[in-house]
Chain A
Amino acid sequence: MGEVIVITSGKGGVGKTTATANIGAGLALRGYKVALVDADIGLRNLDVVLGLENRIVYDLVDVAHGHCRLKQALIKDKRFEGLHLLPAAQTKDKTAVKPEQMKEICLQLKEEFDYVIIDCPAGIEQGFRNAIAGAEKAIVVTTPEVSAVRDADRVIGLLEAADLREPKLVINRLRPKMVRQGDMMNIDDIIDILAVDLLGVIPEDEQIIVTTNRGEAVVLDDRSRSGEAFRNVTRRIMGEPVPLMELERNGNLFTRLRKIIGLG
Protein backbone atom coordinates (compact mmCIF):
# COMPACT_ATOMS: atom_id res chain seq x y z
CA MET A 1 0.00 0.00 0.00
CA GLY A 2 1.50 3.29 -1.10
CA GLU A 3 1.37 6.83 0.16
CA VAL A 4 -0.58 9.67 -1.46
CA ILE A 5 1.15 13.06 -1.25
CA VAL A 6 -0.26 16.32 -2.62
CA ILE A 7 2.11 19.13 -3.62
CA THR A 8 0.41 22.49 -3.22
CA SER A 9 1.16 26.19 -2.63
CA GLY A 10 -1.83 28.48 -3.08
CA LYS A 11 0.13 30.94 -5.19
CA GLY A 12 0.98 30.10 -8.76
CA GLY A 13 4.45 30.01 -10.26
CA VAL A 14 6.35 28.98 -7.13
CA GLY A 15 7.43 25.62 -8.58
CA LYS A 16 4.77 23.03 -7.74
CA THR A 17 5.01 21.28 -11.08
CA THR A 18 8.81 21.39 -11.13
CA ALA A 19 8.89 20.01 -7.60
CA THR A 20 6.40 17.27 -8.48
CA ALA A 21 8.41 16.20 -11.52
CA ASN A 22 11.72 16.18 -9.70
CA ILE A 23 10.53 14.52 -6.51
CA GLY A 24 8.78 11.89 -8.62
CA ALA A 25 11.88 11.31 -10.72
CA GLY A 26 14.03 11.25 -7.59
CA LEU A 27 11.90 8.57 -5.97
CA ALA A 28 11.81 6.52 -9.19
CA LEU A 29 15.59 6.81 -9.36
CA ARG A 30 15.69 5.12 -5.96
CA GLY A 31 13.73 2.20 -7.31
CA TYR A 32 10.24 3.08 -6.12
CA LYS A 33 7.10 2.77 -8.21
CA VAL A 34 5.74 6.30 -8.51
CA ALA A 35 2.55 7.69 -10.04
CA LEU A 36 2.35 11.42 -10.73
CA VAL A 37 -1.15 12.85 -11.04
CA ASP A 38 -1.70 16.19 -12.75
CA ALA A 39 -4.77 17.70 -11.06
CA ASP A 40 -4.52 20.98 -12.96
CA ILE A 41 -7.38 20.25 -15.36
CA GLY A 42 -7.56 22.77 -18.20
CA LEU A 43 -4.02 24.07 -17.59
CA ARG A 44 -2.04 20.88 -17.65
CA ASN A 45 1.71 21.04 -17.90
CA LEU A 46 3.23 18.28 -15.83
CA ASP A 47 3.22 16.20 -19.05
CA VAL A 48 5.17 18.95 -20.83
CA VAL A 49 7.73 19.23 -18.04
CA LEU A 50 8.22 15.45 -18.18
CA GLY A 51 8.40 15.48 -21.99
CA LEU A 52 5.43 13.09 -22.29
CA GLU A 53 2.92 15.39 -23.96
CA ASN A 54 2.81 13.47 -27.23
CA ARG A 55 1.95 10.17 -25.55
CA ILE A 56 -1.34 11.21 -23.99
CA VAL A 57 -4.37 9.23 -25.15
CA TYR A 58 -6.64 9.18 -22.11
CA ASP A 59 -6.60 11.49 -19.10
CA LEU A 60 -7.81 11.98 -15.53
CA VAL A 61 -11.30 13.07 -16.59
CA ASP A 62 -11.69 9.99 -18.81
CA VAL A 63 -10.79 7.78 -15.84
CA ALA A 64 -13.12 9.66 -13.48
CA HIS A 65 -16.04 9.25 -15.89
CA GLY A 66 -15.28 5.63 -16.69
CA HIS A 67 -14.38 6.26 -20.34
CA CYS A 68 -11.28 4.14 -19.87
CA ARG A 69 -9.54 2.02 -17.27
CA LEU A 70 -6.95 3.64 -15.00
CA LYS A 71 -4.17 1.50 -16.53
CA GLN A 72 -4.96 2.79 -20.01
CA ALA A 73 -4.54 6.41 -18.99
CA LEU A 74 -1.23 5.94 -17.16
CA ILE A 75 1.79 6.91 -19.24
CA LYS A 76 5.15 5.28 -18.59
CA ASP A 77 8.04 7.71 -18.35
CA LYS A 78 10.67 7.35 -21.04
CA ARG A 79 13.75 7.52 -18.78
CA PHE A 80 12.73 6.39 -15.34
CA GLU A 81 11.64 2.82 -14.81
CA GLY A 82 8.74 2.89 -12.37
CA LEU A 83 7.66 6.49 -13.02
CA HIS A 84 4.14 6.94 -14.40
CA LEU A 85 1.97 9.93 -15.19
CA LEU A 86 -1.78 10.32 -15.04
CA PRO A 87 -2.25 13.45 -17.15
CA ALA A 88 -4.94 16.10 -16.71
CA ALA A 89 -7.49 16.90 -19.40
CA GLN A 90 -6.81 20.07 -21.31
CA THR A 91 -10.21 20.69 -22.92
CA LYS A 92 -12.24 20.53 -19.69
CA ASP A 93 -12.17 22.54 -16.49
CA LYS A 94 -11.89 21.85 -12.76
CA THR A 95 -15.60 21.04 -12.38
CA ALA A 96 -15.18 17.98 -14.63
CA VAL A 97 -14.00 15.95 -11.63
CA LYS A 98 -15.49 15.61 -8.15
CA PRO A 99 -13.53 15.09 -4.92
CA GLU A 100 -15.09 11.61 -4.47
CA GLN A 101 -13.85 10.58 -7.90
CA MET A 102 -10.34 11.78 -7.06
CA LYS A 103 -10.46 9.84 -3.81
CA GLU A 104 -11.39 6.69 -5.70
CA ILE A 105 -8.60 7.16 -8.25
CA CYS A 106 -6.05 7.72 -5.46
CA LEU A 107 -7.22 4.56 -3.69
CA GLN A 108 -6.72 2.54 -6.85
CA LEU A 109 -3.32 4.09 -7.54
CA LYS A 110 -1.88 3.50 -4.10
CA GLU A 111 -2.56 -0.21 -4.35
CA GLU A 112 -0.25 -0.35 -7.32
CA PHE A 113 2.37 2.31 -6.49
CA ASP A 114 4.70 3.09 -3.59
CA TYR A 115 4.17 6.84 -3.97
CA VAL A 116 1.29 8.72 -5.57
CA ILE A 117 2.20 12.40 -6.00
CA ILE A 118 -0.50 14.89 -6.93
CA ASP A 119 0.37 18.18 -8.61
CA CYS A 120 -2.19 20.65 -7.25
CA PRO A 121 -3.36 23.64 -9.28
CA ALA A 122 -2.84 27.16 -7.94
CA GLY A 123 -5.74 28.66 -6.00
CA ILE A 124 -7.96 27.34 -3.24
CA GLU A 125 -11.14 26.58 -5.18
CA GLN A 126 -12.51 23.36 -6.61
CA GLY A 127 -9.23 22.34 -8.25
CA PHE A 128 -7.50 22.53 -4.88
CA ARG A 129 -10.31 20.62 -3.16
CA ASN A 130 -10.12 17.89 -5.81
CA ALA A 131 -6.35 17.62 -5.51
CA ILE A 132 -6.32 17.22 -1.73
CA ALA A 133 -9.37 14.92 -1.54
CA GLY A 134 -7.44 11.68 -1.85
CA ALA A 135 -4.19 12.80 -0.22
CA GLU A 136 -2.81 11.53 3.06
CA LYS A 137 0.14 13.89 3.29
CA ALA A 138 0.89 17.33 1.94
CA ILE A 139 3.97 19.21 0.81
CA VAL A 140 3.62 22.99 0.62
CA VAL A 141 5.95 24.80 -1.77
CA THR A 142 6.75 28.46 -1.24
CA THR A 143 9.30 31.00 -2.39
CA PRO A 144 10.96 33.56 -0.10
CA GLU A 145 8.43 36.28 -0.95
CA VAL A 146 5.80 37.71 1.39
CA SER A 147 2.99 37.01 -1.07
CA ALA A 148 3.94 33.35 -1.53
CA VAL A 149 4.41 32.85 2.21
CA ARG A 150 1.03 34.46 2.90
CA ASP A 151 -0.66 32.10 0.45
CA ALA A 152 1.23 29.13 1.88
CA ASP A 153 -0.09 30.07 5.31
CA ARG A 154 -3.65 30.20 3.96
CA VAL A 155 -3.22 26.81 2.31
CA ILE A 156 -1.75 25.23 5.45
CA GLY A 157 -4.85 26.44 7.31
CA LEU A 158 -7.12 24.87 4.69
CA LEU A 159 -5.11 21.63 4.72
CA GLU A 160 -5.43 21.41 8.49
CA ALA A 161 -9.17 22.04 8.20
CA ALA A 162 -9.30 19.12 5.73
CA ASP A 163 -7.49 16.94 8.27
CA LEU A 164 -4.18 16.96 6.41
CA ARG A 165 -2.13 17.71 9.48
CA GLU A 166 1.55 18.59 9.68
CA PRO A 167 2.27 19.45 6.08
CA LYS A 168 5.95 19.68 5.14
CA LEU A 169 7.50 22.79 3.63
CA VAL A 170 9.76 23.20 0.61
CA ILE A 171 11.30 26.65 0.14
CA ASN A 172 12.05 27.10 -3.52
CA ARG A 173 14.22 29.60 -5.42
CA LEU A 174 16.20 30.85 -2.46
CA ARG A 175 19.07 33.18 -3.31
CA PRO A 176 21.67 32.86 -0.54
CA LYS A 177 23.47 36.02 -1.60
CA MET A 178 20.32 38.15 -1.39
CA VAL A 179 19.44 36.60 1.97
CA ARG A 180 22.93 37.42 3.25
CA GLN A 181 22.51 41.03 2.14
CA GLY A 182 19.15 41.20 3.89
CA ASP A 183 17.24 41.68 0.64
CA MET A 184 15.34 38.39 0.80
CA MET A 185 13.39 36.61 3.53
CA ASN A 186 15.57 34.00 5.20
CA ILE A 187 14.59 30.46 6.15
CA ASP A 188 14.00 31.38 9.79
CA ASP A 189 11.64 34.25 8.86
CA ILE A 190 9.52 31.85 6.83
CA ILE A 191 9.49 29.05 9.42
CA ASP A 192 8.66 31.62 12.09
CA ILE A 193 5.40 32.49 10.35
CA LEU A 194 4.40 29.11 8.95
CA ALA A 195 5.48 26.96 11.92
CA VAL A 196 5.75 23.71 9.96
CA ASP A 197 8.57 21.20 9.40
CA LEU A 198 11.04 22.02 6.66
CA LEU A 199 11.46 19.32 4.01
CA GLY A 200 14.05 21.15 1.98
CA VAL A 201 15.44 24.35 0.53
CA ILE A 202 16.03 24.60 -3.22
CA PRO A 203 18.46 27.32 -4.29
CA GLU A 204 17.67 29.44 -7.34
CA ASP A 205 19.30 27.69 -10.28
CA GLU A 206 19.31 28.48 -13.99
CA GLN A 207 19.80 24.81 -14.71
CA ILE A 208 16.19 24.16 -13.64
CA ILE A 209 14.92 26.33 -16.50
CA VAL A 210 17.13 24.46 -18.96
CA THR A 211 16.08 20.98 -17.84
CA THR A 212 12.40 21.90 -17.48
CA ASN A 213 12.24 23.32 -21.00
CA ARG A 214 13.86 20.18 -22.36
CA GLY A 215 11.44 17.90 -20.52
CA GLU A 216 14.21 16.50 -18.33
CA ALA A 217 14.64 16.27 -14.58
CA VAL A 218 17.29 18.25 -12.73
CA VAL A 219 17.66 15.48 -10.12
CA LEU A 220 19.69 13.59 -12.73
CA ASP A 221 22.25 16.39 -12.92
CA ASP A 222 25.03 15.58 -10.45
CA ARG A 223 26.64 18.99 -10.70
CA SER A 224 23.52 21.08 -10.23
CA ARG A 225 22.84 22.60 -6.81
CA SER A 226 19.08 22.42 -7.20
CA GLY A 227 19.39 18.81 -8.35
CA GLU A 228 21.28 17.99 -5.16
CA ALA A 229 18.64 19.81 -3.12
CA PHE A 230 15.86 17.80 -4.78
CA ARG A 231 17.79 14.57 -4.19
CA ASN A 232 17.96 15.50 -0.51
CA VAL A 233 14.22 16.23 -0.44
CA THR A 234 13.59 12.82 -1.97
CA ARG A 235 15.70 11.08 0.66
CA ARG A 236 13.87 12.92 3.44
CA ILE A 237 10.53 11.76 2.01
CA MET A 238 11.90 8.21 2.15
CA GLY A 239 12.59 8.80 5.83
CA GLU A 240 16.37 9.32 5.77
CA PRO A 241 17.63 12.12 7.99
CA VAL A 242 19.63 14.37 5.67
CA PRO A 243 21.10 17.64 6.96
CA LEU A 244 20.35 20.84 5.02
CA MET A 245 23.06 21.41 2.48
CA GLU A 246 25.31 24.40 2.70
CA LEU A 247 23.83 26.86 0.25
CA GLU A 248 26.91 28.93 -0.46
CA ARG A 249 29.46 26.21 -1.05
CA ASN A 250 29.94 27.09 -4.69
CA GLY A 251 31.75 30.38 -4.25
CA ASN A 252 34.66 30.80 -6.67
CA LEU A 253 38.19 29.89 -5.76
CA PHE A 254 39.05 33.43 -4.77
CA THR A 255 36.19 33.88 -2.28
CA ARG A 256 36.88 30.44 -0.83
CA LEU A 257 40.53 31.37 -0.40
CA ARG A 258 39.50 34.58 1.36
CA LYS A 259 37.34 32.55 3.68
CA ILE A 260 40.21 30.21 4.49
CA ILE A 261 42.58 33.03 5.38
CA GLY A 262 39.85 34.70 7.39
CA LEU A 263 38.86 37.62 5.22
CA GLY A 264 35.45 36.28 4.12
Chain B
Amino acid sequence: MGPEPGQILAESRVVRPEEHQTVLVQRTLRSGQSVYYPGNVVVLGDVNPGAQVTATGDVIVVGALRGTVHAGAGGNEKAMVIAFRFEPTQLRIANHISRPPEGMVAAGQPEVARIKDGIVTIETFLTPGERQTSSLRVSQSLLDDHEEES
Protein backbone atom coordinates (compact mmCIF):
# COMPACT_ATOMS: atom_id res chain seq x y z
CA MET B 1 0.00 0.00 0.00
CA GLY B 2 1.35 3.39 -0.99
CA PRO B 3 0.91 6.51 1.07
CA GLU B 4 -2.48 8.18 1.17
CA PRO B 5 -2.81 11.30 -0.92
CA GLY B 6 -1.88 14.26 1.22
CA GLN B 7 -0.23 12.09 3.86
CA ILE B 8 3.02 13.47 5.24
CA LEU B 9 5.81 10.89 5.40
CA ALA B 10 8.70 10.94 7.85
CA GLU B 11 11.27 11.31 5.04
CA SER B 12 9.37 13.72 2.87
CA ARG B 13 10.41 17.25 2.07
CA VAL B 14 8.89 20.01 0.06
CA VAL B 15 10.03 19.77 -3.55
CA ARG B 16 9.64 22.85 -5.63
CA PRO B 17 8.74 22.07 -9.24
CA GLU B 18 11.93 23.59 -10.64
CA GLU B 19 14.05 21.27 -8.49
CA HIS B 20 12.91 18.04 -10.07
CA GLN B 21 12.54 19.16 -13.64
CA THR B 22 15.38 17.57 -15.53
CA VAL B 23 16.36 17.65 -19.15
CA LEU B 24 18.25 14.82 -20.77
CA VAL B 25 20.83 15.79 -23.38
CA GLN B 26 21.55 12.62 -25.33
CA ARG B 27 24.61 13.76 -27.25
CA THR B 28 28.07 15.21 -26.89
CA LEU B 29 28.17 19.00 -26.61
CA ARG B 30 30.89 20.30 -28.91
CA SER B 31 32.70 23.62 -28.92
CA GLY B 32 30.26 26.48 -29.46
CA GLN B 33 27.19 24.50 -28.40
CA SER B 34 25.35 25.34 -25.21
CA VAL B 35 22.46 24.19 -23.09
CA TYR B 36 20.43 26.29 -20.67
CA TYR B 37 17.70 24.78 -18.57
CA PRO B 38 15.75 26.02 -15.54
CA GLY B 39 16.19 22.78 -13.61
CA ASN B 40 18.69 19.92 -13.74
CA VAL B 41 20.67 18.87 -16.78
CA VAL B 42 21.94 15.37 -17.47
CA VAL B 43 24.31 15.04 -20.42
CA LEU B 44 24.72 11.54 -21.84
CA GLY B 45 27.97 12.29 -23.62
CA ASP B 46 30.92 14.63 -23.26
CA VAL B 47 30.97 18.38 -22.73
CA ASN B 48 33.92 19.48 -24.87
CA PRO B 49 36.12 22.56 -24.38
CA GLY B 50 34.26 25.62 -25.64
CA ALA B 51 30.82 24.18 -24.83
CA GLN B 52 28.68 25.51 -22.00
CA VAL B 53 26.02 24.03 -19.76
CA THR B 54 23.92 26.28 -17.54
CA ALA B 55 21.27 25.01 -15.14
CA THR B 56 19.47 26.44 -12.13
CA GLY B 57 19.78 23.01 -10.53
CA ASP B 58 22.38 20.23 -10.75
CA VAL B 59 24.45 19.24 -13.74
CA ILE B 60 25.42 15.63 -14.32
CA VAL B 61 27.73 14.65 -17.15
CA VAL B 62 27.83 10.97 -17.98
CA GLY B 63 31.10 11.38 -19.85
CA ALA B 64 34.02 13.78 -19.86
CA LEU B 65 33.38 17.33 -18.65
CA ARG B 66 35.96 19.58 -20.33
CA GLY B 67 33.91 22.71 -21.03
CA THR B 68 32.35 25.35 -18.83
CA VAL B 69 29.50 24.44 -16.53
CA HIS B 70 27.29 26.57 -14.33
CA ALA B 71 25.09 24.78 -11.81
CA GLY B 72 22.73 26.59 -9.48
CA ALA B 73 22.54 29.56 -11.84
CA GLY B 74 20.37 32.14 -10.11
CA GLY B 75 21.86 31.51 -6.71
CA ASN B 76 21.15 27.92 -5.63
CA GLU B 77 24.16 27.20 -3.38
CA LYS B 78 23.13 23.57 -2.91
CA ALA B 79 23.63 22.76 -6.58
CA MET B 80 26.16 20.10 -7.57
CA VAL B 81 28.12 19.19 -10.63
CA ILE B 82 28.86 15.52 -11.18
CA ALA B 83 30.97 14.20 -14.03
CA PHE B 84 32.46 10.82 -14.88
CA ARG B 85 35.64 12.57 -15.97
CA PHE B 86 36.03 15.89 -14.28
CA GLU B 87 38.34 18.34 -16.07
CA PRO B 88 36.27 21.48 -16.71
CA THR B 89 37.63 24.67 -18.21
CA GLN B 90 35.70 26.63 -15.62
CA LEU B 91 33.28 25.67 -12.92
CA ARG B 92 30.50 27.89 -11.60
CA ILE B 93 28.11 27.07 -8.82
CA ALA B 94 25.57 29.70 -7.81
CA ASN B 95 27.65 32.90 -7.58
CA HIS B 96 30.98 31.12 -7.16
CA ILE B 97 33.28 31.07 -10.16
CA SER B 98 36.28 28.81 -10.02
CA ARG B 99 38.72 26.95 -12.17
CA PRO B 100 40.33 23.60 -11.49
CA PRO B 101 43.66 23.71 -9.65
CA GLU B 102 46.67 24.17 -11.91
CA GLY B 103 47.89 20.85 -13.30
CA MET B 104 44.85 18.95 -12.07
CA VAL B 105 44.53 15.45 -13.50
CA ALA B 106 41.16 13.79 -13.79
CA ALA B 107 40.73 11.22 -11.05
CA GLY B 108 39.72 8.45 -13.45
CA GLN B 109 36.45 8.03 -11.58
CA PRO B 110 33.29 10.11 -11.11
CA GLU B 111 33.75 13.30 -9.13
CA VAL B 112 31.36 15.82 -7.63
CA ALA B 113 31.76 19.55 -7.13
CA ARG B 114 29.70 21.43 -4.57
CA ILE B 115 29.99 24.38 -2.22
CA LYS B 116 31.33 23.46 1.20
CA ASP B 117 31.90 26.20 3.76
CA GLY B 118 31.71 28.79 1.04
CA ILE B 119 34.36 27.10 -1.15
CA VAL B 120 33.84 25.08 -4.31
CA THR B 121 35.27 21.65 -3.54
CA ILE B 122 35.76 18.70 -5.84
CA GLU B 123 35.77 15.20 -4.42
CA THR B 124 35.38 11.65 -5.54
CA PHE B 125 31.75 10.84 -6.07
CA LEU B 126 30.95 8.05 -3.66
CA THR B 127 27.91 5.98 -3.00
CA PRO B 128 26.82 6.22 0.66
CA GLY B 129 28.68 3.00 1.54
CA GLU B 130 32.01 4.26 0.26
CA ARG B 131 32.00 7.66 1.94
CA GLN B 132 34.73 7.09 4.54
CA THR B 133 37.65 7.15 2.13
CA SER B 134 36.79 10.34 0.30
CA SER B 135 39.61 12.48 -0.98
CA LEU B 136 39.14 16.21 -0.95
CA ARG B 137 40.47 18.71 -3.44
CA VAL B 138 39.84 22.41 -3.22
CA SER B 139 39.34 24.26 -6.45
CA GLN B 140 40.85 27.64 -6.95
CA SER B 141 38.43 30.54 -6.71
CA LEU B 142 38.57 32.93 -9.60
CA LEU B 143 37.36 35.64 -7.26
CA ASP B 144 40.90 35.78 -5.88
CA ASP B 145 42.10 36.67 -9.38
CA HIS B 146 39.51 39.39 -9.82
CA GLU B 147 39.24 40.92 -6.40
CA GLU B 148 38.86 44.42 -7.75
CA GLU B 149 35.69 43.34 -9.55
CA SER B 150 33.88 42.31 -6.38
Contact = CB atoms under 8 A, between A and B. Distances in A.
Contacts of B95: none
Interface residues of A, number: 11
Most buried by B among A153, A154, A195: A153
B32 interface: yes
A153 B48 CA distance: 8
A193 B28 CA distance: 10
A150 interface: yes
A185 to B, nearest CB: 13
Interface residues of B, number: 12
B30 interface: yes
A157 B46 contact: no
A192 B64 CA distance: 10
B28 A195 contact: yes
A5 interface: no
Contact of B48 (A158, A160, A193): A193
Contact of A156 (B30, B46, B49, B64): B30
Contacts of A154: 30-32, 50
B130 to A, nearest CB: 27
Contact of B50 (A153, A158, A192): A153
Interface string B64-83: 10100000000000000000
Nearest to A146: B49
Interface of B: 28-33, 46, 48-50, 64, 66
Given A153-B30, A157-B31, A157-B32, 17 more contacts: A150-B31, A150-B49, A150-B50, A153-B50, A154-B31, A154-B32, A154-B50, A156-B30, A157-B29, A157-B30, A157-B33, A158-B32, A192-B64, A193-B46, A193-B48, A193-B49, A195-B28
Interface of A: 150-151, 153-154, 156-158, 160, 192-193, 195
24 contacts: A150-B31, A150-B49, A150-B50, A151-B31, A153-B30, A153-B31, A153-B48, A153-B49, A154-B30, A154-B31, A154-B32, A154-B50, A156-B30, A157-B29, A157-B30, A157-B32, A157-B33, A160-B30, A192-B64, A193-B46, A193-B48, A193-B49, A193-B66, A195-B28
